[in-house]
């Protein structure tokens, strides 16, 4: 799973800690890494900021999301191992903004190397590079949103390079039996509401997820995912579609030409204790 080089680098780092038996250490590192569900989406595991804590079984790995990581004192953005309720360990990209810890569930850029044209199972368990363009996995997103009341923030860079956002004060992904249907709260932001505005032709709120081998959309003529690529909560077909190669669309902001999107989650409860 890892190039020997990376394993060696990890071992070298571990030796800095007070552990003695090298055979034990190597076995321990391998075992701990194998317990991480989506470790294949990480190119260099030594960049996981809390991996050493995880290997040494400190309390940190049992954080449920990036907000809990932040509250535990991890204020640096980057990769972290978390453990949402009802799943094994998971690596996620955390964006720590000095006040909150946001869990990144998607990133796409206009020059992306990934095709986004994946099947249901690949969307379910995630793909891409967690440090760059990726989909965390529809199942993992569902598991995270089941734990607490989350809000979502979609950061967009428009065609002119301006940074805009759309936020919804609640975000839930339904069960797989219900097609991972999207449930959104109230919109707020400056990118416009392209997901739940009933004035637009397509509404993504309450839609089920579709991709090339699962047509859950509201077009009776064809599979929107075949026509437009990627996987999304397609209607008939879309006013927003962030999961496509070379085409990041948010109809109230950009016409298939946004430069970048990032989708982030955090629990709604928190207060900012910034000093
Ligand atoms: C992996 O990441 C670590 C920490 O950033 C770095 O020191 C190391 O050189 C990287 N290894 C490889 C093989 O890229
Ligand atoms: Ca259809």
Q: Which domains does the chain have, with CATH numbers?
A: 25-267 (3.90.215.10)
- Quickly state the pLDDT bin for 272 (edges 50, 70, 90): low
Distances (CA, A) of 220 to 39, 119, 224, 236: 38, 20, 10, 9
pLDDT of 129: 98
Tell me: the pLDDT tens digits for 171-184? Answer: 999 999 999 999 99
Q: CA torsion sign, 50 to 41 to 243 to 86?
A: negative
CA distance 5 to 172: 40
**Which ligand 1 atom lies nearest to the CA of residue 44?**
1
| Res 166 pLDDT > 60 | yes
Selected residue with higher pLDDT from 3 and 209: 209
Ligand nearest to the CA of 227: 2
**pLDDT for 143 beyond 80:** yes
Give the Cα separation of 261 and 249 in Å (integer).
9
Pick the residue with more confidence: 60 or 231? Answer: 231
pLDDT tier for residue 275 given thresholds of 50, 70 and 90: very low
Does residue 4 have its Cβ closer than 6 Å to ligand 1?
Answer: no
Cβ–ligand 1 contact at 44 (below 6 Å): yes
| Mutation choice for ligand 1 from 11, 14, 47, 129, CB with most ligand atoms inside 8 A | 47
Q: At what angle do helices 4-15 and 22-34 cross, to 10 degrees?
A: 120
Distance 82 CA to ligand 2 centre (A): 36
pTM to 2 decimal places: 0.90
């Amino acid at each position: 799973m890892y190039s020997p080089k990376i394993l060696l680098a990890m071992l070298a780092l571990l030796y800095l800690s007070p552990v003695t038996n090298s055979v034990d250490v190597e076995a321990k590192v391998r075992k701990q890494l194998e317990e991480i569900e989506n470790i294949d989406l990480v190119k260099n595991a030594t960049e996981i900021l809390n991996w050493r804590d995880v290997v040494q079984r400190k309390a940190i790995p049992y954080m449920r999301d990036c907000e809990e990581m932040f509250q535990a004192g991890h204020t640096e953005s980057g990769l972290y191992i978390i453990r949402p309720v009802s799943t094994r360990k998971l690596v996620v990209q955390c964006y720590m903004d000095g006040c909150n810890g946001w869990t990144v569930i998607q990133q796409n850029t206009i020059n992306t190397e990934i095709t986004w044209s994946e099947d249901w199972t690949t969307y379910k368990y995630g793909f891409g590079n967690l440090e760059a363009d990726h989909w965390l996995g529809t199942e993992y997103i569902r598991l995270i949103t089941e734990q607490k009341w989350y809000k979502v923030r979609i950061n967009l860079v428009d065609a002119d390079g301006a940074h805009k956002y759309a936020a919804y004060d609640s975000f839930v992904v339904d069960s797989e039996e219900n097609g991972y249907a999207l449930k959104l709260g109230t919109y707020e932001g400056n990118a416009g509401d392209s997901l739940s505005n009933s004035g637009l032709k397509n509404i993504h709120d309450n839609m089920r997820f579709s991709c090339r081998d699962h047509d859950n959309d509201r077009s009776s003529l064809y599979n929107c995912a075949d026509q437009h690529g990627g996987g999304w909560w397609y209607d008939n077909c879309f006013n927003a579609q962030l999961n496509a190669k070379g085409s990041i669309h948010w109809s109230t902001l950009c016409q298939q030409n946004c430069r970048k999107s990032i989708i982030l989650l955090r629990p709604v409860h928190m207060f900012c204790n910034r000093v």
